[in-house]
Every structure is written in C-alpha cells, then in structure tokens.
Amino acid sequence: MRNPIRLIALALLLASGAAHAQTAVAVQSPTRAHVEVLASEKLEGRMAGSPGEKLAADYLVKELQRIGAKPLPGQADFRMPFNFTAGSKDGGSTVTVTRAGASPQTFSTPAQVQALSFSDNGEVSGPVVVAGYGLVVPESQNFGYDSFTGLDVKDKVVVVFRYFPEDADQQTRATLARYSGLRYKAQAARQRGAKALLVVTGPRSPNAGEVVPMSFDTALAGSGLVAASANGAVADAIFAAMPGKTLEAVQKEFDSGNPHVAGFAVPDLTITVKAAVERERQTGHNVVAYLPATNAMAGTAAANVQKPWVVIGAHYDHLGRGATGSSLAAKEDAGQIHHGADDNASGTAAVLAMAEALSKQPRKRNLMVAFWSAEELGLIGSNAFVTTPPVPTTDMAAYLNFDMVGRSTDNKLTVQATGTAAMWPKMLEQANIAAGFDLVLQEDPYQPTDVSSFNQASVASLAFFTGAHVDYHKPSDVASKVNFEDLDRIVTFAGSITRRLLDMDEAPLFTKVEQKTDTGGGRAGMRIFTGTIPDYATEVKGLLLSGVIGGGPAEQAGLQKGDVIIEISGQSIANIYDYTYALELLKIGQPAKVIYMRGGERRETTLTPAARK
C-alpha cells in the first residue's frame, strides 16, 4: 500500500506549472519519459564520444533550457568538452628476423604482426631469449615460479608464449593464470632490462598461431617497452634458427608448468621489432547548467550563505554496444545495444526531474545540475570537471550523486558517502519520515562512481543507489524493467534534501573519511591496501594520484594529491597497470620504498601496506 504522505509530497513538488492539473493518485511519472528516451535504440547505448552520446547531450540541453537553466558563469555553452583515449589501433608494426649468414625476413601484414595496445612506439633490435610463458609469481604468494630465472635478458628481445602452461594441474593453472596478463609479462621483461617483448600463441594453445588482437586500452601512454605479437609464421622463422627444436616441442616442455624448465638464448639470431600504436583520442562532453539563487542580485553569486553552490549530478554515458567497455553480455548478445536504463538513464532522469521541480522554488543558493560522461571508462568526465572546475570546489556546499537508482526492491535505498558530513545521517532520517524507505547508510565515499571525484575535492557528498541486478552491463538493462514508482519516490526524497541544502545558512562541514582496514598481516587471500587513488584522466608517465584515502598508508607515508609514483619496491611504474601488478610484490606490514615526483622534484618515502577486508 502506497504511503499517502509520499503521494502528497510528490504532488506538491511537481504540481506547480503542470500542463494538466491531476490528483495525487494520478500524477504522471516525472522520470519515465526521460528514461525511455535515453535508453532508446536511437541513442545506441550512449558511449562516451559517440553519436549516441551527442544525441543524449542534445536532449539534456533541450530539457535544461526548457526549465530555465543557464550555462555556468563564464561558460558560453552547457556542453563542457574533455579529451580521453577511446582506443588503439596498429599503425604498421613489423618484425624482422635475421639469422647469421641468411637474408633478413620481414613480416609486416596485420595477420603477421600487431603491436600490443600498451606498447611504446619505437624500433629496437637485439639478440633473442625465449622465456617460456614469461610468468613471474610474486614471492608473497608462496609459489615459486619465475620464467626469467637464470636468463640474461638485458638489451635482448624476449620471446614468450601467450597464456599459461596448458598441461599444468588445475591448482597450478589457477595460480599462473592470475599472472598471465600481457601487461604483467611486459612489466616483468622491462624490469629485467629487455628491449622488447614478442608474444607468440603456440600451436598447443587456444587461437594457435594467431596474433593478439589490438584490445581496448584507456591508458594515455605506453608501458615503457616495445611490445608486439607475432603469428605462427614469424614464430617458425625464429625457431628455425635452432636445429632440433620445433615450436611445438618447445611449448610442450613449458606446458608442464614445471618451474625448473628453463628458458634459453637463441644463438646467431637478431630480431628487430617496430611497434606503431595509434591511440585514438576522442572528445566527450559533460553537460552542466545552473539555476541561479533567487535572492541574489542579477549577475552576482548567492548572497549571505556559506558556499553558495549545491550540485546534483549523474553520469549519462553507458557502454554503447559493449565493444570497448566492461560489458557482461552473454556471447550470443555480443555487439547488441547496451541500453543502460538503470545505469544510468535512471540517475539522469532523477536529476532532470529534481531540477525541474526545484526550478519553481525559491532558493538561497545556486543549484548546479550536472551530467557526466565517460564515467564507464573511469570517472573521466567528473574528474576532468573537478580538476579544472569552472566554479571553485571550495564554493560547493554539497554534491548529490545518482547512479543506478531505478531498480529498487523490497523498499530498500542505499545512500553512500554519509561519512563526509556529520549532519548527513540526521538529515536523511528526517527526510525519510515522509519517504518511508528502508535506508541503508554507508559512510564510505570511495565508490566506483562520480561521488568519488567530489570526495577527493573535499566536497561533502551523498550517493544514491538502489543496488546491482542481473541486467547490470548487459543489453537487457531496458526501460521496461525500471521501477518508476520508487524512482519517483527517490526524486521526492532527494529533492527534499536538496531543497534544505539550498536554503540552509550554513553549509555541511566536510569530513575526511578514513578507510577502514585490517592492519593485521600475512593471511592468504587478503588484498593489499595502500590508500592511493589514481587519476585516470591525465597523461603522465607513472601513477598520478588524484588523492589519498584518509588515514591510509599513502597518507601516512606523506603522499598527496598531485604526486606521481614512478617506482615502488624496486619496480618501475609507467602507468596504472604497472602499479596494480607491483602491488603483488608487496607484503602486508612490510615497509616498501616509494619513489615519486612532486612539482618536478624526485622524492622518496616508505609506505607500509595494510590489508583490506
């Protein structure tokens, strides 16, 4: 049975200016039309930088204009562009195999050679070392396996097999599979001084003899190593230099998974690898507007209040057809439109509906209405915004985020980031008297959604979320499955909180939340926790920090936003992927040396990892 107080509240919030007066019981959904448009076939999944994203942005701009919103002060348009890496393609890589006393053999077709997506661009030559599967399992795993044991690969071209040993027992395969990523193999070769990595898919493996397809990769820079894959013809040319050894026989030796099967140098052979990666840069667009404070003088900021801006926002991008994002589509659904009705047409619709309702109300503060793009690629749009904000983040009283708010079940609504201001729990409790949700409050603001960007900018924040479901990141996330009744209740509930924030004289006081960790160490299966928060949007060699978690190991080590980590525990760091792999070398409770750059100055500190629950 629906709560009559909720219906009355919704009617009061939306009735002003309605085209047709209706009773509370018959009120039209303020969100349904928005979700149906944004999740329609026409918008093709709203992939960042795509025509579908442009159509979605056009729709948002039209709706913002309709309710009387304006571009932000100093901005000529609602659309705020930012650049990002949308993918990579091979620009003409080659491999030349030269045996002593023989003519060079050059391979240059895409079927023969392709650069790996994370490769540096360049051409290098060197003697050849075969390093098995190129696997290194960190000592912390208590599993002795290092394909480079006994090998001198400095200034060499390292040839490795793709995947992991085919004939190893199940437990061994499970362990080795974790470290079989090509980035991990490239990092291992680079750390040992190799000039290049050449990957071949052996005849005993899946996709035998094929090159590795150029994969989607959002990295803005290479990995510090020339890296490519080669087909069976190139592999045969390499192994032809070794009388009595065939490619299949060599692979079979390594396939046992026996760590004592050693790699070897190939005598009288030189390989030249030229890698050419063309990284596709695209432009995405945040759509941002504002409703000026009604008590402010024309052309001035809101008067007589602390922090004169309240921000409500949601990401409006999704996965397109799933080719370049984190699609979970079944094999038979690959390539279909990922409609993203809940993720995140629902949040976008909620923000539009709230903005329209609040546009008719007096307010002491400016209301910023924001729609982020490229969230699905790593919070890129919101990160770009807070990195170079058109309105100082210090002037923002609060940020409210809406991501996947359309699939409420059992009357449950989760509100995250409640630890960022002491007043949030009481304010939520008071607003919920009318709404009647079964609220789940989570203090943690370090969430995989745009609220994280604002938390890092020290803005008191809340994130509304109705939970994951079986249609997440699949084409089946369609408008017909959205729970519009509860979505509209969320609009009313969050709208009442926003209205209060707009009218308060004082702003919420930001509280830095400390990540809760288990600092005991040594237990298998615990993940390393360093407390670093990477910046995914900026092109830099190393790991640029967009912030550190309060009370975490990174903060305790003196690291801070803007630092660039270039080495940890003796492992050089060229990008986020290197950093992720380097974490496997760390041990809980054992200090690790970190080298980083701050303002162009090379610095050193010691970080002691903790364990994360």
Residue 45 corresponds to which amino acid? G
Q: Which residues contact 378 (CB under 8 A, 6 or more apart)?
A: 218, 536, 537
Residue 489 has φ and ψ, to the nearest 5°, of -65, -40
d(CA 436, CA 334): 40
* CB-CB contact of 491 with 353 (8 Å): yes
* Enclosing H/E stretch for 249: helix 247-254
* CB-CB contact of 357 with 14 (8 Å): yes
DSSP state of 520: -
Q: How far apart are the first and last CA of the chain?
A: 40
Rounded to a whole number of angstroms, the CA Rg of the chain reads 27
Asked if residue 344 has a cis previous peptide bond (ω within 30° of 0), the answer is yes
Query: Is the pTM here over 0.85, yes or no?
Result: no
- pLDDT attached to residue 522: 29
Kindly give the parts of the chain with pLDDT less than 50.
Answer: 1-26, 297-301, 516-527, 613
Neighbours of 449 (CB within 10 A): 24
Q: pLDDT of 461-496, one tens digit each? A: 999 999 878 788 999 999 999 999 999 999 999 999
CA angle 301, 307, 313 (to 5 degrees): 90
Sign of CA dihedral 443, 526, 186, 564: positive
d(CA 346, CA 406): 5
Q: In sequence order, what are the beta bridge partners of 128?
A: 157, 266
* Enclosing H/E stretch for 455: helix 451-456
Distances (CA, A) of 399 to 302, 445, 456: 17, 12, 12
Q: How does DSSP assign 2-68, residue by residue?
A: --HHHHHHHHHHHHTT-SS---STTPPPSSHHHHHHHTSGGGTT-BTTSHHHHHHHHHHHHHHHHTT
| Pairing verdict, β 277-291 and 396-402 | unpaired
From the list 334, 333, 93, 114, the residue with the least C-alpha distance to 215 is 114
From the list 148, 202, 145, 208, the residue with the least C-alpha distance to 177 is 145
Can you list the domains of the chain with their CATH numbers? 4-82+280-503 (3.40.630.10), 92-275 (3.50.30.30), 527-612 (2.30.42.10)
* CB-CB contact of 184 with 225 (8 Å): no
b/e 172-191 (16+ beta carbons within 10 angstroms → b): bbebbebbbebbbbbbbbbb
The answer for 393, left when phi > 0, alpha when psi is -120 to 50, beta otherwise, is alpha
- pLDDT attached to residue 20: 35
Residue 374 has φ and ψ, to the nearest 5°, of 60, 25
From the list 8, 55, 140, the residue with the least C-alpha distance to 345 is 55
* CB-CB contact of 416 with 445 (8 Å): yes
Tokens 């190139």: give the residue.
Answer: 234
Q: Indicate the SS3 state at residue 538.
A: coil
Instruction: Tell me the angle at which helices 4-15 and 347-359 cross, rounded to the nearest 10 degrees.
Output: 60
* CB-CB contact of 315 with 372 (8 Å): yes
Q: Which two tokens stand for residue 313?
A: 């926002």
* CB-CB contact of 571 with 582 (8 Å): yes
Residue 399 corresponds to which amino acid? Y
DSSP state of 345: I
- pLDDT attached to residue 523: 26
Q: Which residues contact 153 (CB under 8 A, 6 or more apart)?
A: 129, 131, 189, 192, 193, 194
- pLDDT attached to residue 158: 98
Q: Which residues contact 62 (CB under 8 A, 6 or more apart)?
A: none
Residue 25 has φ and ψ, to the nearest 5°, of -65, -35
- pLDDT attached to residue 22: 35
Q: Which residues contact 343 (CB under 8 A, 6 or more apart)?
A: 318, 403, 404, 472, 473, 477
